Structure 1
Amino acid sequence: MVNTIAALTFVLAVILRLEDANIRNPRVAKVLGTLVSLAGVMSMTLYKGPVVKSLGHPLIYIHRGNGVVHKNWSKGLILIAASCITWSIWYIMQAYTLKRYPTQLSLTIWMSFVGAAQSTFYTVIVQHKRTAWTMGFNIDFWSTLYGGIVISSLVVYIQLWCTIQKGPAFIIVSNPLSTVLVAVLAYFVLGEKLYTGSIIGAVIVIIGLYLLLWGKKIHNQK
């Protein structure tokens, strides 16, 4: 469901006139590209097919426990849907904010600062134990370092720069690639099963991305 953010963002961008979806000219490729990418992701999720033969031993072994999982599908679907909608709105807000405040670097700093302040306030209320705040020189340290430098700094800054150059729909349409990359890395690094449906869906996603890029190129030429 997270990959529906691309379609939701494009729809919001069209409604707010940040993107053109005139289906009477070749720029219809932008609409088709978004729908095709979404169809590719859905096929990866819903269709498995035969398992691809493993090429070797995984690089990392993960112990999977048999803990009890409590499921609540109704609440889960509502929360995921709300997350997708608010995430799409966040990308649209970036586009509007950059029109009045086009300095990507300082905007990235402010966004990171506000996010850190909110997370700190929430964690202080939820976690009162000292162990929740301590960090050793292990995977917790490296994941936190990666999240701060790459995710909260480089990725946000690059997203803001691309939003100015190409618009919010151009940024979010590449999100389905994360599903493809996760499937590939999980297969080679963690040794998880890879299905033919995932490969077919990945090809469809790439075709959709090329359609959208082609539509954007035609739009810029005109």
Structure 2
Amino acid sequence: MDEKTSLIESDLKETDKESSDLNDEPITPQESIPAEIKNILAGEHYDFIVHAKRTVFIGDSILFLIICLVMLFILGIGTAEPHKNPMSFVVGLFLLLFLLYFIVTAISDIFFNDAWIIGTSKKLSKYQKNKIESFNWEELTDVIKVNGTQEDGSIEILTNIIISNDEGPDYQKTIYIDGIKNVSQIAKLIRKRINENYLTIRNSIQWISLKD
């Protein structure tokens, strides 16, 4: 047995040990699961279904909201006397509409950004506002951050998906799940599925190299 094969078997044992610590029963929410999600699953076995309060980082949304409110205050001062500068007042009205739009967006992200998160053996899915977004496990990395408590925790997962940004450097897409229960168990299940796919790919590579 060569060193590479030993490393693979060691990783498999670690994954098996982690899997044995998890309950085989799927994790389900206390509230009823929407019929749309049941239709999406179509009888497929799932690891977990959770209702997340937010899918964006709340700190960024709060900061953005504060900036918009400060700009709104400054704009209000600048357009307090429209008779002195009518053109500035008209421009201010247009800016006001944009600011109100951004303020509503920030408030929506903070209070109305909930989603259903579904994990199966094949993929991680997000059902939000009648739209489904799915990620195959091989699209995710094992860079996972867990915060909070068991009753109100968050999970942040770095993906292999590169987002092209015209205004700056490209960056990797991040999946953010906030305000969920059973956060540690769900994080372990996510890591387990990611590791399973990672090991499958790496075993294939090893098989090719051994064949050569």
Same fold (TM over 0.5): no
Q: Normalized against structure 2, the TM-score is what?
A: 0.26
- Higher fraction of helix: 1
TM-score (norm 1): 0.25
- Structure with the bigger RCO (C-alpha within 8 Å, sep 6+) is 1
